[in-house]
Amino acid sequence: MPTGVAIRDPRKHLFEAAERILLRDGPSGLTSRAVTEEAGVAKGVLHRHFADFDAFLAELVRERVGRLEGRGAALREAAGTGTVTGNLTTALTDLFDGVAVSVVALVIARDELRARLRASGSRGVPLLTEAAGMLAGYLAAERERGRVTADAELEVLAPTLLGAAHLLYAGREAGAPDEEAVEKVVRTVMAGALRDADRA
């Protein structure tokens, strides 16, 4: 981008550049220089809006976490429709896009980033913890409708679904798993917690 050209939303512009890098090069390719070059801006632009690169990364993660609110609301609204297995499969497939998988790897790899996120209230592995909460909220809504058994341990099922699905997606240079593989994980994890009619 030519010097002197105003950027309507510099933070968003930098986040979008970072997401492109994560998709193309993974977490190891994400540096402050790579972000500013990808965004086509001077190096100083990033530091004008963020105290340092870890502050930028923390905001990038928070922005991804913020997106889960809308997804969680839509998922809860889907309770009682379709099948529980189908709804969970779709939710997990949508959740683990290429950027999300790279963001989780980034959070795990960078101690300073994790510390900053936890200092602002994040628990566990940021993004994964909030995603587990999203799944638990949906399962609770289905339990109220009788489609998930009353004795189902939602606080165990939600992170188990999430962890098993994450393992399918993490480190897959050949690309994302197909929907059938994700559905198999969902069926296996949820086997004892669904009525027969809601397993399909």
The domain spans of the chain are 1-49, 65-198
Domain 65-198, CATH number (from 1.10.357, 1.10.10, 3.30.40, 2.60.40): 1.10.357
Look up the pTM and report it.
0.86
CA distances to 91, 141, 166, 179 from 186, rounded to whole Å, are 11, 17, 12, 11
Asked whether the predicted pLDDT for residue 174 surpasses 80, the reply is no
Q: How far apart are CA 172 and CA 194, in angstroms?
A: 30
Which tens digit of pLDDT belongs to each residue from 18-55?
Answer: 999 998 998 989 999 999 999 999 988 998 999 999 99
The beta strand positions in 78-173, using DSSP E, are none
For the domain 1-49, what is the CATH superfamily, name and number?
Homeodomain-like (1.10.10.60)
Q: How confident is the model at residue 171 (pLDDT cuts 50, 70, 90)?
A: low
CA distances to 67, 70, 89, 196 from 139, rounded to whole Å, are 19, 16, 13, 16
> 125 with 104: CB under 8 angstroms?
yes
